[in-house]
Amino acid sequence: MTRYVALLRGIAPTLPHNSNAELRAVHEGLGLARVGSVLASGNIVFETDETDVPELERRIQEALVAELGIGGGTIIRSLDELRGLLERDPFDGLTHGRGTYLVATFLKDGVTPGEVPDDPDPLVRVVGFDEEAQAYLAVIDNGDPGRTPDFMRWLDRTHGKDITTRTWLTVQRIVRKLESL
């Protein structure tokens, strides 16, 4: 059995049909094992013998639309992919904090990364693109939380719904939860 996380785009606990219980029930209904959730932002962990990740993403997304009306997007990563990302330590000892967000933006399997603009935004330092995890890594100055950095807009314009972003702390929590399954 392989341990995976489904990173669901556009989930907020205040929206209808976005509760962890409802999200877990959809995954359990697909026959996935040891289903759990991490935080209340669309991180569903599970085990399965299935290895065709694009097909698994498609099945989960179709079930989310059919059962809960959620069409935001589903991106799957394995425990090994995420553990490897943590071990590579792309943020080189930086600390996630109120003014400095360390983020990973995951691309859907098979999506080609775009060429990062030379100067995406003065509030963003792009660390790079991790090929194995298929994720852009960036440090965002979040001192003005009401302002969305241009880099995040560039990601949305370039990749549409084929991306989802998680903080580095969330990635660490997901790995701990996957390891405990």
> Residues 154-178: pLDDT tens digits?
888 888 888 999 999 999 999 999 9
Reading the block at residue 167, the tokens are 């903080």
Helix H or strand E encompassing 25: helix 20-29
pTM summary value: 0.93
Tokens standing for residue 43: 């991180």
pLDDT, position 17? 82
Q: Report CA dihedral (20, 3, 78, 104) to the nearest 10 degrees.
A: 40
pLDDT, mean of residues 88-117: 87
pLDDT band at 119 (very low <50, low <70, confident <90, very high): low
Using one digit for the tens of pLDDT, what is the confidence trace for 77-95? Answer: 999 999 999 999 999 888 8
Distance CA 82, CA 124 (A): 23
Task: Enter the tokens of residue 5.
Answer: 């996380």
Strand partners, 126: 138
Residue 116 has what pLDDT?
A: 80
What is the rounded distance in angstroms from the CA atom of residue 156 to the CA atom of residue 172?
24
Q: Which residues of 47-70 are buried (b: 16+ CB within 10 A; e: fewer)?
A: bbebeebeebbebbbebbeeebeb
The residues facing 101 across adjacent strands are 140
